[in-house]
Amino acid sequence: MAERILKFSDAIKEATDQMLAEDKRVYVLGLGVPQGAGGTTNGLHEKYPGRVLDTPTSEASLTGLAVGSAIAGLRPIVHHDRVEFSLLAADQMFTQAAKWNYMFGGGNPVPITIRIVVGRQWGNGPQHSQALYSMFGAVRGLKVVIPSTPYMAKGLLIAAAREPNPVIILEPRWLYGTKQDVPTEMYEVPLSKAKVVRKGKDITVVAYGDGLVSSLEALDIIGSKASVELIDVVSINPLDIATIRKSVAKTGRLLCVDTTSEAFGIGSEVIAGVMKTQTLKVKPVSLACPNVPCPTSTSLTEFWYPTKVDIANKVLSMLKKGGVKQKLSFEELHLAPSLTLK
């Protein structure tokens, strides 16, 4: 079958389109959604009149409306273009949607999907480059996933829109231009399962989102120097620590790649979960961003995020092998990737 290459943003749009067509209970709302929401809802306002809705600038109100409609039996897909602004709806997400079914003894689902755009973007600085993964991952009652590829973006959104429980999808904006072969038909990616992306025997590398893409590029740099098992976390709530433990039991080494600060991060949680039950050949490492806000200046941000060269050299260092010297271009350091993933 011939490949059909889609961008990350187009894969989200296709999943949304197919869910709107499949289930009349599904509707979409958010600021700027009829205007395209970064290319993820282009044309859907005209195709589904009355079901793709623009809203006033009130994150609390629009999310509260969606939560109430989900309790009443609809299946809203909410879009928040910046994670910082989504926090204005923290009560609706963390206290209402997440706890409703539990408080009423089960049998009271809240089938809401909340898409939140997170992470790096050139020039957005301290206030608009946050990801806040640990904040969402700590909320009981929510399922929280991070798509890392176009294939996964489509499959996770379809799974989330069919799920009876509230799901938060944290979408790295940095990946919207990446491309991949994406099937036309509808399919689901499991919401609570990590994925072994590459098999290996020397070291386990655990990553997610844009860090997963950088890790894939690092494997190309490493080549035959090391046999790397690469795991995509996919879900941070719940965290599939069993899959990671199984890999580390084989390799005896663990490197976690975080594209946000290390403190209270996903990598720290993964390492804690592994070390509770296992002894490693070398100390586990979390390769993460500094514990300071992301700067705005490009002369500073090139030292903030772990690069593919950083990841490759850390892998080789943990295996006591010589590193690589590769200077990255301005485009590689500062512009969102548009590469085609296998």
Cβ contacts of 166 within 8 Å, gap of 6 or more: 70, 93, 97, 98, 110, 111, 112, 113, 114, 141, 142, 143
Catalytic pick among 59, 84, 217, 269 = 59
Q: What is the DSSP letter of 113?
A: E
Cα(115)–Cα(136) distance, integer angstroms: 12
| Cβ-based neighbour number of residue 310 at 10 Å | 16
Catalytic pick among 45, 79, 80, 128 = 128
Q: Which of 306, 175, 295 is nearest to 328 (CA)?
A: 306
Cα(168)–Cα(338) distance, integer angstroms: 25
Q: Is the dihedral of CA 6, 206, 215, 83 positive or negative?
A: positive
Q: Distances from the Cα of 209 to the Cαs of 83, 120, 299, in angstroms?
A: 15, 11, 24
CA atoms within 13 A on the CB side of 144: 26
Q: Is residue 55 within 8 Å of 24, Cβ to Cβ?
A: no
Q: Strands, E, within 54-103: which ranges?
A: 75-80
Residue 167 tokens, joined: 């799901």
Indicate if 59 belongs to the active site. Answer: yes
Instruction: Kindly list the catalytic residues.
Output: 59, 128
